[in-house]
Structure 1
Amino acid sequence: MSFKTIVAIVQSEQDAERVLDGAIALASRFGAHIIGVHAEALPMPYTSATGFPDTEFMQVSADLNKERSAKLRTLFQKKLQPSGLSFEWRAEETFSGDSALSSLASVRAADIVVAAQREAGSDTNADIGSLVYDAGRPVFVVPHAGPVAASFRHIMLAWNGSREAARAAFDALPFMIEAEKVEIFVVDPDEDSDDEGLAGVGIAAALTRHGVKASVATRQTKGGTVEDAVQNRLIETGADMIVIGAYSHSWLHRLLYGGVTRTVLRSSPVTAFLSR
């Protein structure tokens, strides 16, 4: 399995460098084509104090949008041209102006998506959570800080026996096969259950048949949260990638309790690979 078409979500200057570094690293490794996607919001109609459309304001907004899009296209081309990779740029105008939400047509014809981790307090973040939920393709999320890599030494698979976790595990095989070790991490396993799928034994055996150096580790939350258990395990083991099946709980559970997916998208200290 390989990744031959990569979509890079370029929302703003703040995230463009790291997203493109990640996309270039992956494309160089797999010989892939990169599609850069950026969206600007359509100028909204405003009225003047007299009740007539403020065409001057709308024109200024449109000009600013074009200028910003052109600046990002130039940055994209400047980063890609020396790489020797094939690439293309797609700029759009949409009601939301969100490059992640506007990229779905491109994403669904790609092998993998590269996006930036959500930055707290920024008003220029793309909606990566909705992208992960709707894309149908794996999303490679580059963290705020730390090295941008295309191969990983120690990968942690967050496992709960769900359909989403299974999808993520096999989507991430190209990375897992080359890793020095892959830990299947299970939080709050049912110690009285004979279900090897939930305990991580079955997925460990399946991955091992692919040549993955897999092991299983478990942790009881003991009143804590699954999110904290996952984050703490990442730090303890020094893993440099987390693989997770996204949104495996119901929308009501996520609304009331949050979830591992949201925590990973906002604060994972390492590269995250998410599938659903």
Structure 2
Amino acid sequence: MSYKTIVAILQSEADLPRVLDFALPFAARNQAHLIGLHAESLPIAMATPMGGPAVDFSTELSAEAERRNGELKAVFERKCAAEDVRYEWRGYENVSGDSAISGIESARTADIAIAQQNDPDAEARMAADVEALIFETGRPVLLVPYTYQGRREPFKKPLVAWNGSKEAARAAFDALPLLREAGTAEVLTVDARDTMSQDAGVAGAAIVEALAKHGIDVTLRAEQSDGLSQGDVISNRLADSGCDLLVMGAFGRSRVSEFVFGGVTRSMLQTMTVPTLMSR
């Protein structure tokens, strides 16, 4: 198994270099087809004080969107050609100008999507709805921290957050190409409990065994939260262990609103310090 189709969500000129620093070497190593995807907002006709449409203003916005899309496309194509990566550009328009929303359909037929974590201090047009990408595509999403610097070589030490759920299982197996590439991984359990089918003392042993059968050197670590949030426990372990990739399931608390996240998921989306692969 390897990733053969990769979708890079490129929201703006700010995140394009960071996302491509991950996506291009990643695509080259996997001999994958890389899709660069960007959306611009649709120009909305506005009425003048006299009641007529502001045609000039709308035309100006449309021209600006076309210019920005063309510039991003040119950078993407130039970088792909330099890396000798097979590529494709998809440009869209939608009401919000959200590239993640426009990328949902493309990501559903890809092996993985790569996007940047949102910078909370960036202007609105720089933010993409990465939550929708995670929850609506059924595909793994690799998020790059907005603070991350440097070109991404293969991960060396992934951390797999494990709680025995279907979301955690999906993430662990979705990440197999990355785990095999690293050759090693740590499985982390937090506050494991005794259940009808498993003692807390052996929680995580089965997934360790399953991943080891893929040629991965896997270790198991159990932690107790001791008053901390589980998100803080995971973050502390990342810092202490030197792990450079987090693999975890994404959880929602409400079936009515799939964008209401569980505490750990939202915490990691907001505070991630290493690239994070999430699956739903």
Same fold (TM over 0.5): yes
Residue equivalent to 2:137: 135
**CA positional deviation for 1:181:** 2.7
Aligned-residue identity in percent: 40
User: 3-state SS of the aligned residue for 2:278?
Assistant: strand
**CA positional deviation for 1:182:** 1.1
CA distance in 2, matches of 1:179, 1:199: 23
Alignment of 1:268 onto 2:278 = no
For residues 113-132 of structure 1, the aligned pairs below 5 Å read: 113-122=113-122, 123=124, 124-132=126-134
CA distance in 1, matches of 2:182, 2:69: 38
- Specify whether residues 248 and 215 from structure 1 end up closer, same or farther in structure 2 by C-alpha distance, changes over 3 A only: farther
CA distance in 2, matches of 1:193, 1:242: 29
For residues 21-32 of structure 1, the aligned pairs below 5 Å read: 21-32=21-32
CA distance in 2, matches of 1:63, 1:177: 46
Alignment of 1:187 onto 2:190 = yes
- Specify whether residues 11 and 229 from structure 1 end up closer, same or farther in structure 2 by C-alpha distance, changes over 3 A only: same
Between the two proteins, the alignment pairs up a number of residues equal to 276
**Preserved contact between residue 29 and residue 150 of structure 1 (Cα < 8 Å):** no
User: 3-state SS of the aligned residue for 1:68?
Assistant: helix
CA distance in 1, matches of 2:249, 2:47: 46
For residues 66-215 of structure 1, the aligned pairs below 5 Å read: 66-122=66-122, 123=124, 124-143=126-145, 144-191=147-194, 195=198, 199-215=203-219
CA distance in 1, matches of 2:174, 2:264: 19
CA distance in 1, matches of 2:143, 2:259: 22
TM-score normalised by structure 2 residue count: 0.92
CA distance in 2, matches of 1:103, 1:257: 21
CA distance in 1, matches of 2:84, 2:159: 32
Residue equivalent to 1:11: 11
The two structures, once aligned, show a CA RMSD in angstroms of: 2.2
User: Deviation digits for residues 14-69 of structure 1, max 9, x if unmatched?
Assistant: 10001111110111110011111000010112111112221111111111111111
5+ long unaligned stretches in structure 1? none
- One-letter amino acid matched to 1:60: E
CA distance in 2, matches of 1:93, 1:253: 25
User: Deviation digits for residues 168-220 of structure 1, max 9, x if unmatched?
Assistant: 10111112123243111111111576516981111111111222211211111
- One-letter amino acid matched to 1:154: K
User: 3-state SS of the aligned residue for 1:13?
Assistant: coil
CA distance in 2, matches of 1:113, 1:196: 36
- Specify whether residues 256 and 177 from structure 1 end up closer, same or farther in structure 2 by C-alpha distance, changes over 3 A only: closer
User: 3-state SS of the aligned residue for 2:38?
Assistant: strand
- One-letter amino acid matched to 1:130: A
- One-letter amino acid matched to 1:22: F
**Preserved contact between residue 140 and residue 274 of structure 1 (Cα < 8 Å):** yes
**CA positional deviation for 1:247:** 1.7
Q: Tell me which moved more, 82-91 or 195-204.
A: 195-204
5+ long unaligned stretches in structure 2? none
TM-score normalised by structure 1 residue count: 0.93
**Preserved contact between residue 112 and residue 141 of structure 2 (Cα < 8 Å):** yes
- Specify whether residues 245 and 41 from structure 1 end up closer, same or farther in structure 2 by C-alpha distance, changes over 3 A only: same
CA distance in 2, matches of 1:112, 1:194: 33
CA distance in 1, matches of 2:266, 2:72: 27
